[in-house]
Amino acid sequence: MYRNVKNVPYYIFGKGSLAQLDDLLRERRHEEGEGVVFFIDHFFYGKDLVASLPVEQGDRVIYVDATHEPTTDYMDVLAAKVREANSSPLSCMVALGGGSVMDACKAVANLMTNPGLAEDYQGWELVKNPPVYKIAVPTLAGTGSECSRTCVLSNVKKRLKLGMNSDYTVFDQVIMDPELTRSVPRDQFFYTGMDTYMHCFETLTGSYRNRIVDALAEKAVAMCEDIFLSDDMMDEVNLEKMMIASYLGGMATGYVGVVHPFSAGLSVALHMRHGIANCYALTVLEDIYPEQHAQFMRMLERQQVHLPGGICRRLSAEDYDILYEGAIVHENSLSNRLGPDFKQILSKQNVIERFKRM
Amino acid sequence: MYRNVKNVPYYIFGKGSLAQLDDLLRERRHEEGEGVVFFIDHFFYGKDLVASLPVEQGDRVIYVDATHEPTTDYMDVLAAKVREANSSPLSCMVALGGGSVMDACKAVANLMTNPGLAEDYQGWELVKNPPVYKIAVPTLAGTGSECSRTCVLSNVKKRLKLGMNSDYTVFDQVIMDPELTRSVPRDQFFYTGMDTYMHCFETLTGSYRNRIVDALAEKAVAMCEDIFLSDDMMDEVNLEKMMIASYLGGMATGYVGVVHPFSAGLSVALHMRHGIANCYALTVLEDIYPEQHAQFMRMLERQQVHLPGGICRRLSAEDYDILYEGAIVHENSLSNRLGPDFKQILSKQNVIERFKRM
């Protein structure tokens, strides 16, 4: 049995294409009283971008705090906010932001039509009812959230990072306007772009493979290398290319490898964001991914991006345990690269020493 | 204004995935009496493949004659056949075949819910009502019909080759089972695969560009070069790769260049099939596409595919006029590669001399 893969049904790509959001919403505004809810990265609070959005009477703007990765608790808070503001059904939800904001929109759209709490849907195929129609407008490129079938949520109580994996989680429409990524701080542009690079090369160097995923991942990796080894990763052409690489990479969802488990450890123990955590992870995996490690170091240097050292020094023994557990729990990913005996390389001591080197 | 691009909503990819058609149809068989219509390439008549299909009581198998490219008249005949056999609404249509069969299924699915004749819908955005749900099972790789928004139809009276360009024309589901292409005659596998190669390199060498189309086309071209410059274009890996290249190439719908107009001339004047006509076209465009021409000649040789010469010798003056007109009418494509003054190179004499060299 092969998976029946759901694509994002519609996308618009091009500089300035955000202007077409108004027309798309107009098609959805069927009934009076059915509003649109905008989830907007709090980074844009008070900025011109928000004033330019087609917000109408009865719509609601909700700023999403993307300082940390989305938690299940926060999704429940956001869902309550949306319910409170809208007694009648919503016609549409719009996410304007990076991976966290898009993931929040996906999770809350599911919760609007499915009872219970966010954590009830962490897993595979648990969403039962079609969610609210939703549109993604990424303002950061690299997470692939705009076209993936999951939304990554941290469950703090259960120390679990797991999405609502479901075809229902896929956006109905994506608007890819590269212009929106122009104002991203350079470091953040780099870390987020690297998310595509890493999950794609991890897939390509694993043992569980799928040739269509390979084709998409190969192209995404090649585009990332072009972008991040060029003189300026944020010139006009590269802003476009990075948005496309993210989209292709998001469609190339396969098994990951060793970067993502180490990255997950950092997110669980230190609440570090996914993109930068991936970068730290790769810096200590030179023996496991020699080529990609070397390539990554060249990219860091070429783009003059700084990764401050010493982030895992002088932690408590308990913290190191959490780091180790947060990484080693991802057995499928680790064995995808290293085989079932991955603990022969990744002993507890070995793992903790790697974290200490970061 | 950028186009809102419709993707094929669902695809299954993998060797043997045809076996999953039964489950997919089961989900569609809602009401008693609502049958499934299978459009099957007449090439498969009496073959084991047909016996293995999940055809149930009330379903109908229609063999589609794919000897020539689909005509609007033939679509009207097929539509009448389907209507005659099914008084109640259809639950699904399935296309099992190459580009012609898939295009026929797309056209007839539109005609089932839209009044009038096939020729009424040749053009852009003319289909008004949602068509019958349809599933593509390509048995040839390269046309990209499995994921494109058109179905190419020849209108014999009007001497016009034009599809029903519409989001409604897109299949709802694609099953890509590379195993189905194993029994394709080698020459045909080559000609059809070249369709992807040619429309993608034409797009990439044109002046109207779109960076997301470029990314998909670049990958499809690279995969075609891998396949057709390898020792055996039809080994197991290449059967998979060609099906993926066709899918990516089908999503990379951009403007074409000079190959397609010359190919169209051959189709109009000599009823030649699209794939092989493209091949003949490129053989006489060495000045316009020097690199791709050389690459193509290497591929022909490597795969030992024969392209018999002299196909346009000793035709009547009227025939040469038809060839010329059939090519030169495609002004957008020709100027995409050669600029608005394309007739400075492609004078009537120049065009006819090229045809004579084929």
- How distant is the Cα of B29 from the closest Cα of chain A, in angstroms? 18
User: How far apart are the C-alpha atoms of A278 and A299, rounded to whole Å?
Assistant: 14
- The DSSP secondary structure of B19-78, one letter per residue, reads GGHHHHHHHH--STT--EEEEEEGGGTTSHHHHTS---TT-EEEEE--SS--BHHHHHHH
- How distant is the Cα of B270 from the closest Cα of chain A, in angstroms? 37
> Residue A120 pLDDT > 90, yes or no?
yes
pLDDT at position A254? 79
- With CB atoms and an 8 Å threshold, state whether A10 touches B6: yes
- How distant is the Cα of B16 from the closest Cα of chain A, in angstroms? 9
> Residue B68 pLDDT > 90, yes or no?
no
Which tens digits make up the pLDDT trace of A68-102?
889 999 999 999 999 987 666 789 999 999 999 99
- A216: which chain B residues are within 8 Å (Cβ-Cβ)? 219
Mode of pairing for the β-strands spanning B5-6 and A10-13? antiparallel
A240: confidence class by pLDDT, cuts 50, 70, 90:
very high
pLDDT at position B353? 96
Which tens digits make up the pLDDT trace of B13-51?
999 999 999 999 999 887 666 899 999 999 999 999 999
Residues of B at the A interface, defined by Cβ within 8 angstroms: 1-14, 17, 20, 24, 173, 176, 210-212, 215-216, 218-219, 223, 237, 240-241, 244-245, 247-248
Instruction: Specify whether the CB–CB gap between A54 and A29 falls below 8 A.
Output: no
User: How far apart are the C-alpha atoms of B244 and A157, rounded to whole Å?
Assistant: 43
Of A2, A12, A216, the CB nearest to B14: A2
User: How far apart are the C-alpha atoms of B241 and B235, rounded to whole Å?
Assistant: 10
Of B14, B173, B219, the CB nearest to A219: B219
pLDDT at position B87? 64
Determine which of B18, B26, B212 to mutate to test the interface with A (most A C-beta atoms within 10 Å): B212
Q: What is the 3-state secondary structure (H, E, C) of chain A?
A: CCCCEECCCEEEECCCHHHHHHHHHHHHCCCCCCCEEEEEEHHHCCCHHHHCCCCCCCCEEEEECCCCCCEHHHHHHHHHHHHHHCCCCCCEEEEEECHHHHHHHHHHHHHHHCCCCHHHHCEECCCCCCCCCEEEEECCCCCCHHHCCCCCCEECCCCEECCEECHHHCCCEEEECHHHHCCCCHHHHHHHHHHHHHHHHHHHCCCCCCHHHHHHHHHHHHHHHHHHCCCCCCCHHHHHHHHHHHHHHHHCCCCCCCHHHHHHHHHHHHCCCHHHHHHHHHHCCCCCCHHHHHHHHHHHHHCCCCCCCCCCCCCCHHHHHHHHHHHHCCHHHHHHHHCCCHHHCCCHHHHHHHHHHC
Domains, chain B, with CATH or none:
10-181 (3.40.50.1970), 186-356 (1.20.1090.10)
- With CB atoms and an 8 Å threshold, state whether B210 touches A4: no
For B154-173, what is the mean pLDDT? Answer: 91
> Residue B138 pLDDT > 90, yes or no?
yes
Which tens digits make up the pLDDT trace of A4-59?
999 999 999 999 999 999 999 999 887 666 899 999 999 999 999 999 999 998 89
Instruction: Specify whether the CB–CB gap between A104 and A75 falls below 8 A.
Output: yes
User: How far apart are the C-alpha atoms of B214 and A218, rounded to whole Å?
Assistant: 15
- With CB atoms and an 8 Å threshold, state whether B215 touches A248: yes
Mode of pairing for the β-strands spanning A164-165 and B36-41? unpaired
Which pair of tokens denotes residue B290?
């020097």
User: How far apart are the C-alpha atoms of A148 and A157, rounded to whole Å?
Assistant: 26
Q: How buried is residue B33: exposed, middle or buried, by Cβ count under 10 Å (0-12/13-18/19+)?
A: exposed
pLDDT at position A33? 66
- How distant is the Cα of A241 from the closest Cα of chain B, in angstroms? 7
User: How far apart are the C-alpha atoms of A109 and B226, rounded to whole Å?
Assistant: 43
Residue B338 CB neighbour total at 10 angstroms: 18
For residue B140, what is the enclosing H or E element?
none
> Residue B262 pLDDT > 90, yes or no?
yes
Residues of A at the B interface, defined by Cβ within 8 angstroms: 1-14, 17, 20, 24, 173, 176, 210-212, 215-216, 218-219, 223, 237, 240-241, 244-245, 247-248
The ipTM estimated for the assembled molecules is 0.94
Mode of pairing for the β-strands spanning A164-165 and A5-6? unpaired
Which pair of tokens denotes residue A290?
């020699």
Of B4, B173, B245, the CB nearest to A10: B4
Of A1, A7, A11, the CB nearest to B8: A7
Strand, helix or coil for residue B161: strand
pLDDT at position B32? 66
> Residue B197 pLDDT > 70, yes or no?
yes
User: How far apart are the C-alpha atoms of A314 and B177, rounded to whole Å?
Assistant: 55
Strand, helix or coil for residue B232: coil
Q: What is the DSSP letter of B10?
A: E
Q: How buried is residue B260: exposed, middle or buried, by Cβ count under 10 Å (0-12/13-18/19+)?
A: buried
- The DSSP secondary structure of B171-223, one letter per residue, reads -SEEEE-GGGGTTS-HHHHHHHHHHHHHHHHHHHTSSS--HHHHHHHHHHHHH
Which tens digits make up the pLDDT trace of A165-177?
999 999 999 999 9
Strand, helix or coil for residue B97: strand
Which tens digits make up the pLDDT trace of A288-334?
999 999 999 999 999 999 999 999 988 999 999 999 999 999 999 99
User: Which residue in B has a C-alpha nearest to residue A241's C-alpha?
Assistant: B211
Which tens digits make up the pLDDT trace of A150-166?
999 988 888 778 899 99
Query: B165-204 burial by CB neighbour count: b if 16+ within 10 A, else e?
Result: bbebbbbbbbbbbbbbbeebeebbbbbbbbbbbbbbbbbb
User: How far apart are the C-alpha atoms of A216 and A210, rounded to whole Å?
Assistant: 10
| Residue A6 Ramachandran class (φ > 0 left, ψ -120 to 50 alpha, else beta) | beta
Nearest to A90 by CA among A81, A99, A98: A81
Mode of pairing for the β-strands spanning B10-13 and A5-6? antiparallel
Nearest to A149 by CA among A275, A262, A254: A254
Nearest to B74 by CA among B93, B99, B101: B101
- With CB atoms and an 8 Å threshold, state whether A4 touches B24: yes
Number of Cβ pairs < 8 A linking chain A and chain B: 87
User: Which residue in A has a C-alpha nearest to residue B4's C-alpha?
Assistant: A12
Backbone angles phi, psi at B322, to 5 degrees: -65, -40
- A17: which chain B residues are within 8 Å (Cβ-Cβ)? 2
Mode of pairing for the β-strands spanning A5-6 and A10-13? unpaired
| Residue A340 Ramachandran class (φ > 0 left, ψ -120 to 50 alpha, else beta) | alpha
Which tens digits make up the pLDDT trace of B74-112?
999 999 999 987 666 789 999 999 999 999 999 999 999
For B261-281, what is the mean pLDDT? Answer: 93
- How distant is the Cα of A145 from the closest Cα of chain B, in angstroms? 17
- B244: which chain A residues are within 8 Å (Cβ-Cβ)? 211-212, 215
- With CB atoms and an 8 Å threshold, state whether B173 touches A218: no
Which pair of tokens denotes residue A346?
């990744």
Determine which of B13, B25, B173, B181 to mutate to test the interface with A (most A C-beta atoms within 10 Å): B13
For B326-336, what is the mean pLDDT? Answer: 94
Average pLDDT value over all residues in chain A: 94
- The percentage of residues in chain A with a pLDDT greater than 90, rounded to a whole number, is 87
pLDDT at position A336? 95
Nearest to A168 by CA among A114, A90, A95, A248: A114
For B2-11, what is the mean pLDDT? Answer: 96
Instruction: Specify whether the CB–CB gap between A284 and A357 falls below 8 A.
Output: yes
pLDDT at position B156? 83
User: How far apart are the C-alpha atoms of A145 and A100, rounded to whole Å?
Assistant: 9
